Structure 1
Amino acid sequence: MRRTTTFFLLSLTILLGTSLAVGGVTDVSQEAQLRKFMSSRALKRLTKRASRVNEAEETDPWADPNAFAHLPDRCKGPASGSKEADRVLGLPGQPPRVNFRQYSGYVTVNEEHGRELFYYFVESPYDAASKPLILWLNGGPGCSSLGFGAMKELGPFRVNPDGKTLRRNKHSWNNLANVLFLESPTGVGFSFSRNASDYDTEGDHRTAEDTYVFLVKWLERFPEYKGRDFYITGESYGGHYVPELATVIMHMNRFPGLLTRINLQGIFFGNPLLDDFMNDKGALEFLWTHGVISDEAWANILANCTFTPADDHHCFNAAHSFTRGTYDRYDIYAPVCLQSDNGTYFASSHSLPGYDPCSYHYIEPYLNNHAVKQALHARVDTNWTGCSQVIWDWGDAPESMVPIIKRLVNNGLKVWIYSGDFDSVCSLLATRYSVNDLNLTITTKWYPWYTPDSEVGGYIQQYQEGFTFASVRAAGHLVPTFQPKRSLVLLYAFLKNMLPPADPKYRPPTGL
């Protein structure tokens, strides 16, 4: 089905908008990267479809297991690196009495091109040998799971405002699992390729393949995790990465004679980009229901937009008929980061306890510290940035992830999707539209779930096929950042294969 030029311009308007730049603070975020991605993809499609008006629907490469038949050969070859060499004996400025093991380093995923993916791995301080293995993938595409995932969201440490020291995150996900953070694809964070042309040909398919090769080789380096229950988690453009990687693993696990089978048990990802049409519809509707768009502007949008290929310039004009103002699109109620005349950063308010909107400006200097790079076994000449400055193009990317997710569910994989309900980038409304498109049978209707302090953590619904959709109350795009305790309660339920409690008096045995 051919989509019109006008609709892609509409997508640009909704997803690009204006960057958050308050008090001179530059927007370095997954959201900014997503805007860049959508811009590039839209312009590419416009050019392509202008020359091929009667273009047929493209085939789905993710449905064909033979598309990955070459991967076993890529996983072979002499082993490089070792677990012992990757051991992190301590990070500069880390707090005392760290009671878990840390590892980091590189894994070669393409010998010919010299593609090297960088990882950071933290074991659980509580009986790591019995805990599952979790992979975390940040979005963008092109943003760092080390800088955002590990240092800003769900890792064991937070960077202090001095940019030199760390403090513990008591709600770290390694309380419940052994957590592996991967900077992917090459060109992100410390990951790199010795063939610079690789940065011009990135895309969903190669990212999934490289990540699969990484996992197989990483398991050879850490053989005690072979056969361990394995889960893929992520957020934002992770709505592509997570189910696509799961698809590759499920295809590859069926190959005869495979030496390493990954024991994939489920996927768990939040505020995902799932469908271009539904994301745009959900974004506009979210802005209306939260008072950014007037009733008149919303009525005009509804009168002129169907969020289908039939939309024309009338829809385009309607979507331009309001002014947004400046706020944090990740959480429209959160304080923003301001910069003073002397260059220091500070929060506009302290209305959200425990949340610091300026944290990226501490993380970047910390990860660029020479001693930190050495401790992490990273290339010391790399200028680390939160989102890639070398990936300017993105090749293949499905316009909707719904068919891929439906296929995973039909093949028996446990799939949980959660949404922070204050996010305007990949809103709960947008996710709900895509979830409804799965056409699954509800078995447990939407109900409030509770945290150990008897607060409503969000709402949740489960389906006959094992699929689960949850909201996280008062959380933005980065749920583990905005609501760390609630994210941990939801993860606990996911790992235990149970629904979170409907009883406000329930207390989990782990003392979450």
Structure 2
Amino acid sequence: MGHYVSAVIFFFFLFVGLCTSSYLEDQERDRITELPGQPKNIGFAQYSGYVTVNKQAGRALFYWLVQSPASRGAESRPLVLWLNGGPGCSSVAYGAAEEIGPFRIRPDGKTLFINPYAWNNLANLLFLESPAGVGFSYSNTTSDLYTAGDQRTAEDAYTFLINWFERFPQYKHRDFYIAGESYAGHYVPQLSQIVYRRNRGIQNPVVNFKGFLVGNAVTDDYHDYIGTFEYWWTHGLISDSTYKILRVACDLGSSMHPSSECIKALNLAEAEQGNIDPYSIFTRPCNDTSSLRRKLRGHYPWMSRAYDPCTERYSEVYFNLPEVQTALHANVTQVSYPWRTCSNIVGIYWADSPLSMLPIYQELIAAGLRIWVFSGDTDAVVPVTATRYSIDALKLPTITNWYAWYDNHKVGGWSQVYKGLTFVTVTGAGHEVPLHRPRQAYILFRSFLENKPMPS
């Protein structure tokens, strides 16, 4: 009997050892030794690679994990999954490369510099290019690119998470949050709902999910339409007559299938707005900026640190460099098309998109999850008015009335705390809040993680 027990114990530890060595080998295979053009002595580890989400179709999603610096206690920091929207846009291009990631790309498209307000100083960041067909994520079934939609995107993202935690089991019991912006206003609540529902009834949930954070988020078609048209009109971007036409012609029930009259009115509104950057209405669009920057830099030293609207162009150069793709373990299937910040095919042929996320908000608020919504107030694409109408429709009791929050004795924006939801605006920020107001976005993220009100 003693020999039998000893044998069982031996084989148990042998099995555990094999499993441990297996996932450690997988992690090591995904480790990024160094990115081309990366600053030296960065003090944190990075991993990237693929996780298969559907073997039959050959769908695999690309991720990039940026750990917190060891000096900031990476081993105890939470894990945050970041998703960009579109639909069809890359979390590597936007979230990682120009918003919350540790590096920004220089105009040469070859070298990187440190982002002092990178969110990995506060949490371990997991960027996911989703769905398949976006960025480096791929499918061996071509029709997948033409049939992507909300439901499959959420299911694939959940499968990704479960499989990723098997590769990185040290994160299984960490506090876990999901964050994103724009059309991720759909992705984030939908994935949150799946995680929450599948965790129920499990004694030790696979995902230690605590809540979500969304910015300038597509939330509810009806309220988004009303709020967007109102924003254009109240900010002097369109005429009174066009505003009235939009209110009548556009079916406020669905943004997926606008009528021909609505499209005509939207084209008229776009013409009236002129050559502005609708994602940041008070900053110059990319095509006007480079010459301005050269002329003013000598007189205004801060210009070199100002918002650069051409960052997407730098991404398209950098992430197409063969040496960058090798360092990231990306494009392993050698696809025939270049890496792009957004996939037009995925976006144009988007299959399903529910009219509203508000029922999911109601369910997850009732579940007691932490939910924060933020909005840059110079975005004309998913403006602050749209978000306020959507939140108002939830009819939540107010805990703390509207108040100004501060950064260095200056107003950073405004906030209101509801029962189950916190809303924060960031003044002077466009659609990508961490790009336009990196310091204020950092303060916002820190407050979210600490579950504390914005500093007043």
Partners of 1:224 and 1:148 in 2: CA distance: 27
Q: How far off its partner does 1:500 sit?
A: 1.1
Between 1:385-394 and 1:474-483, the stretch displaced more is: 385-394
CA contact (8 A) 1:418 1:472 kept: yes
Q: Does 1:85 align with 2:29?
A: yes
Q: How far off its partner does 1:336 sit?
A: 1.3
Which residue identity is paired with 1:483? R
CA contact (8 A) 1:337 1:345 kept: no
CA contact (8 A) 1:118 1:190 kept: yes
Quote the sequence identity (%): 47
CA contact (8 A) 2:223 2:389 kept: yes
CA contact (8 A) 2:229 2:247 kept: no
2:287 is paired with a residue whose SS is strand
1:333 is paired with a residue whose SS is coil
Q: Does 1:153 align with 2:99?
A: yes
| 1:113–1:411 CA distance, 2 compared to 1 (3 A) | same
Q: Matches of residues 16-415 of structure 1 in structure 2 within 5 Å?
A: 82-125=26-69, 126-256=72-202, 261-295=206-240, 297-298=242-243, 307=252, 323-338=272-287, 353-379=305-331, 381-382=334-335, 383-391=338-346, 392-415=348-371
| 1:241–1:157 CA distance, 2 compared to 1 (3 A) | same
Q: How far off its partner does 1:293 sit?
A: 2.1
**Residue of structure 1 equivalent to 2:9:** none
1:135 is paired with a residue whose SS is strand
**Residue of structure 2 equivalent to 1:460:** 415
Q: How far off its partner does 1:324 sit?
A: 2.0
Which of 444, 462, 472 is the aligned partner of 2:426? 472
Which residue identity is paired with 1:263? N
CA contact (8 A) 1:186 1:199 kept: yes
Q: Give the number of the structure whose residues are more often helix, by fraction.
A: 2
Partners of 2:353 and 2:423 in 1: CA distance: 23
Q: How far off its partner does 1:390 sit?
A: 3.8
CA contact (8 A) 1:335 1:347 kept: no
Partners of 1:346 and 1:146 in 2: CA distance: 28
Deviations 1:76-128 (A, max 9, x none): xx989711110001100001121100000000111111111000010011110
| 1:262–1:346 CA distance, 2 compared to 1 (3 A) | farther
Q: Does 1:481 align with 2:435?
A: yes
Q: How far off its partner does 1:354 sit?
A: 2.6
| 1:378–1:296 CA distance, 2 compared to 1 (3 A) | closer
Q: Does 1:418 align with 2:384?
A: no
Which residue identity is paired with 1:400? S
Unmatched tracts of structure 1, length 5 or more:
1-77, 503-512
Q: How far off its partner does 1:345 sit?
A: 8.2
Deviations 1:277-329 (A, max 9, x none): 222211111111111123454456568879469x9998887767652211101
| 1:443–1:192 CA distance, 2 compared to 1 (3 A) | same
**Residue of structure 2 equivalent to 1:19:** none
1:82 is paired with a residue whose SS is helix
Q: How far off its partner does 1:400 sit?
A: 1.1
Which residue identity is paired with 2:132? T
2:216 is paired with a residue whose SS is strand
Partners of 2:377 and 2:202 in 1: CA distance: 44
CA contact (8 A) 2:68 2:74 kept: yes
